[in-house]
Structure 1
Amino acid sequence: MQTRVFRAPKVPAVFLMFWVVKLLTTGIGETASDYLGTVSIPLAAVIGIGSFFTALYLQLKAQTYRPARYWVTVLGVALFGTMIADGPHVALGTPYWFDSIVYLVLLCALLTWWKRSEGTISVHSITTARRERFYWGVVLITFGLGTAVGDATAIDFGLGFTWSILLFAVLIVVPLGLWKLGLNVTVAFWSSYVLTRPLGASIADWLGKGTHDGGVGWGIGPVTLVGLLLFVVFVAYLTVTHSDVDHAAIHARDSTVREPDPVLDSRS
């Protein structure tokens, strides 16, 4: 199958700021979804679905990586992913642990399909339109899975927000330790990526929920607003400094390209 080829990966390099902004988007997605739900369920659906598909369309249509466009798309996925994770529980009454299993099966199936189709599921390989579509499909499912897992520990298993934060704070560094011991780096990355969602969402819920719900009572509206302000600051920093460009992947690709690419040349 023919597919567009990009000069560089359309995703950011994975370093400390990547994880900071990713955690921030998970918290914003959680509290923003809850806040919009208190205002109007139809409005929440319109904003959640509309922002997700609009941002994703613009991201997939683009030829290059841009921090603002990429992270706004992640934010749209965070908001929409929260809704699709809560939807089965609210509409069908299924427990969160059951939803977690369903999303885990879907994630494994999509990763397997991606691996068999492209030969790799590494984030450093997102240099074609087909791989990018796989990437965003996986990202969406990880948000649904992470949301369901976080709610399962806090609600179904009765751990509450505080213990859930401690649990996921420990679990998220486990893949790093296993990677140091020889675990495949791609497996370690996606494992940590999934865990950012329940960790970030548990922190946001703990800050925003009232004391009777196990939170500190700052309010989901103020927590969402502060999160959005920090998001703008961090993304602006990445836009100005270009510190999240995957230079290693660009260099590796350039060293293997020996002939001009007619698809790229025609678009340049």
Structure 2
Amino acid sequence: MSKDFLRPRNALHKGKYDMTKMTTHDWLNKVPEVTLAFWVIKIMSTTVGETFADFLAVDAGLGLGITSAVMAALLAVALVVQVRGRTYTPWIYWLSVVLVSIVGTQLTDILTDVLDVSLYTSTAVFSGLLVVNFAVWYAVEKNLSIREIITPRRELFYWTTVLCTFALGTAAGDLATEALGLGFTLGAMIFAALIALAGVAWRYGLNAVPAFWVVYILTRPLGASLGDLLTQAHKYGGLGIGATWTSVIFLCVIVVLVAAAQFAANSRKQLSQ
């Protein structure tokens, strides 16, 4: 998907957007352009949310309770910094996404492993919460586009939506690969196919805003399925790489991509002064 993914298709064809110019509105928007790098980091962040949460809770021996409390506290701090910032800052934004991914994973794990809530129920509950959040967001703001995140209230709606998508994606991914018995490989292939289908639908006229959110939601179970495929032992259908190495490799790639985005943002800011 290109950076034009959230531009209205009729506006693109009529030339209403000049992609060579940055307006005040562009600088105020608090989320990145939707480019290939955006989706790569997003999918890797979802995978890290799955693997790093397991690493901290199991491999590092912190347990689900301590890990959840620490990650929730770090997420709260990151979101305060993100929301209080005046413009999009890549490293703050993507740190928040990674932390949301971890916390979203742990919300589902707590419901499933501690409270013994079935994956069918948790998937239905998070789906309902996401629909309600979208409904309230639209009723208040009349706009769900991430190209319009230019006020603190819209940003709060945005991050609440992101948290719901991560929790839902974790539950839906586990439901597909475990409860329905699809397995990690087939599960990942199905979610990837659904993402491709949404992209094709957008290309042939589907409104960009719902297309984006459908893909955004589906990248979560895709990343979770990939995480399980990479980390789980061979006897469970995985590749046996382990949570530690998978987390390290993916985090390194994320850091490189975010550093490049931060450098580009700093360069644009200097040129605009």
Asked whether the two chains share a fold, i.e. TM above 0.5, the reply is yes
CA positional deviation for 1:129: 0.7
The letter of the residue matching 2:153 is R
> Is the 1:6–1:63 Cα contact (8 Å) retained in structure 2?
no
Q: Secondary structure at the match of 1:200?
A: helix
Q: How many residues align?
A: 240
The letter of the residue matching 2:186 is W
Q: Secondary structure at the match of 2:28?
A: coil
Q: Paired residue for 1:131, among 154, 168, 171?
A: 154
CA positional deviation for 1:240: 1.2
Please identify, of 219-228 and 89-98, the stretch whose mean Cα deviation from structure 2 is larger: 89-98
| Residue-by-residue CA offset, 1:9-63 (whole Å, 9 max, x unaligned) | 0000111110000001000010011111111114312332122111111111111
Q: Paired residue for 1:40, among 53, 57, 62?
A: 62
> Is the 2:27–2:88 Cα contact (8 Å) retained in structure 1?
no
- TM-score where L is the length of structure 1: 0.86
CA positional deviation for 1:7: 5.1
Which sections of structure 2, spanning at least 5 residues, go unmatched?
1-24, 269-273
Q: Which residue number corresponds to residue 173 of structure 1?
A: 196
Partners of 2:170 and 2:33 in 1: CA distance = 24
In the TM superposition, what are the counterparts of 1:15-26 in structure 2 within 5 Å?
A: 15-26=35-46
Higher relative contact order (CA closer than 8 Å, sequence separation 6+): 1
Is residue 138 of structure 2 the alignment partner of residue 115 of structure 1? yes
Q: Secondary structure at the match of 1:183?
A: coil
Partners of 1:29 and 1:237 in 2: CA distance = 22
Runs ≥4 residues deviating over 2 A? none
Q: Which residue number corresponds to residue 79 of structure 1?
A: 102
RMSD over equivalenced CA pairs, Å = 1.6
Partners of 1:158 and 1:60 in 2: CA distance = 40
| Residue-by-residue CA offset, 1:188-220 (whole Å, 9 max, x unaligned) | 000000001111111111111111221111111
The letter of the residue matching 1:45 is S
Partners of 2:196 and 2:124 in 1: CA distance = 22
Partners of 1:216 and 1:65 in 2: CA distance = 37
Which sections of structure 1, spanning at least 5 residues, go unmatched?
246-268
CA positional deviation for 1:242: 3.1
